[in-house]
Each structure stands twice: as C-alpha cells, then as structure tokens.
Chains A and B, each alone.
Chain A
Amino acid sequence: AQSVTQPDIHITVSEGASLELRCNYSYGATPYLFWYVQSPGQGLQLLLKYFSGDTLVQGIKGFEAEFKRSQSSFNLRKPSVHWSDAAEYFCAVINNDYKLSFGAGTTVTVRA
C-alpha cells in the first residue's frame, strides 16, 4: 500500500530563515503528490501538487517542492519564512484507490 512519511513532527525556525519539510513516499509508479497547509482552527489548503513533468514545483505563498524519484522524496521548501507560515503541513499521495493518503503532519513554529 502507498504510504507517506513525514519524519519531522515539529520544526522551529526563525523568521526570515529558510524552511525545508521532508516527505518520503512509498509507491511503485510515478505518484501524484501534494502538500497541504493547515492554519490553527482551519481546514487544509492546497499549497502545490506534482503529477508529472518538471520536478521542481512552485506553489502558493512562496513555497516550492522538489520531486526526487531516486530518494522517493517530495520535500517542501521556502527561502524566507514569515510568522504567518506557522501552521501544520501535510504531505499526501494518491493511493491505488485514487484517494489521498496523508502523512502525520509537521508542525512549524516561527520564532521572532
């Protein structure tokens, strides 16, 4: 079965510093991959998605992610974090049943 692993439960980063969130997946074929963000008390919002083509994907809010087949990874990055980026981030993959399977999430804290 397809699965998604987010190795980091919690990351703290200083405002203005760079951010990288890790995501590893297990899947036989080329996966459909997503990153979602959840602000406190809110539902999830799609940041970006990868289906095929260019392995560097640009998303909203200045985020990007890079698909690396050799490492089975789809890490999310942002060059300079803003306080408003404090949230929980979820990596997800379309599974064999054509539905999203989510990772456990990474909570990002931004310190001034």
Chain B
Amino acid sequence: NAGVTQTPKFQVLKTGQSMTLQCAQDMNHNSMYWYRQDPGMGLRLIYYSASEGTTDKGEVPNGYNVSRLNKREFSLRLESAAPSQTSVYFCASSEKLIGEKLFFGSGTQLSVL
C-alpha cells in the first residue's frame, strides 16, 4: 500500500531557482494538502485542495503555487526559491475536508542556498 508518495525526498536549490514538488495518493481521497514544517513552529498549511478542480490558500501561501492535476496528484511549485523556503514539506490527503484523518507522505527536505 503506497498511500501518499512525495518526490523528491531531498533537494538543494540556489536562490532564484524554481522547482516542483510532486505528490500522489492512491486512496481515492478527495482532499489534498501541502504543509511545511519548521523547527518550533509545527506544521503550517501552505495550500489545500478540497476536491479535484479546486485549490485554496492556507496560512503561508506566499511564494508558492499549486496544481491539482487530477484526483490523485497535487503538486507544489516554487517559482523563485528563497532561503526562507528552506523547510521540510509534507503532502497529505484525506477522504474529505472536514474533520477527517489525514494521511501524510514521508516529506521532502528542501534547502535553498
């Protein structure tokens, strides 16, 4: 059972470079999320997609864009990476948006130099 799969697991970027983090789930979930995790701050929601075809901003959307490519896939793009975006990024999914258990991927460790 794959669950939620994120790629890549590690990435180093130079300031100003762009990249896309990929996320796919095989549980037929409707809702998908991107979080970032920083020491002492827990997880903060970047963007989410309540259902296929919709995306919405979370707490910290600046500097990011997302695409819900289909029901399975939800990508996160950094157009011009900044050192402040150095973080661990987690994708998650749930059957529906409200009050449901989230299933998390194993994370992407991103360093922006």
Contact = CB atoms under 8 A, between A and B. Distances in A.
Interface stretch (B13-21, B35-43, B71-79): B35-43
B4 A90 contact: no
A16 to B, nearest CB: 29
A49 B98 CA distance: 13
Interface string B80-106: 000000000010100001110110111
Contacts of B43: 44, 90, 100, 102
User: How big is the A interface, by class?
Assistant: 20 to 34
Contacts of A104: 40-42
Contact of A45 (B41, B45, B97, B104): B104
Given A44-B43, A99-B45, 20 more contacts: A9-B40, A32-B99, A43-B92, A43-B107, A44-B90, A44-B104, A45-B104, A49-B101, A90-B43, A94-B98, A94-B99, A99-B33, A99-B48, A99-B58, A99-B97, A100-B45, A102-B43, A104-B41, A104-B42, A105-B42
B106 A43 contact: yes
25 contacts: A4-B42, A32-B99, A36-B102, A42-B106, A43-B92, A43-B105, A43-B107, A44-B43, A44-B90, A44-B92, A44-B102, A45-B104, A46-B101, A49-B101, A51-B99, A90-B43, A98-B98, A98-B99, A99-B58, A99-B97, A100-B43, A102-B42, A103-B42, A104-B40, A105-B40
Interface of B: 4, 33, 40-45, 48, 58, 90, 92, 97-99, 101-102, 104-107
A51 B99 CA distance: 8
A41 interface: yes
B4 A43 contact: yes
A24 to B, nearest CB: 14
A108 B101 CA distance: 23
Nearest to B41: A104
A9 B41 CA distance: 11
B37 to A, nearest CB: 8
B57 to A, nearest CB: 10
B42 A98 contact: no
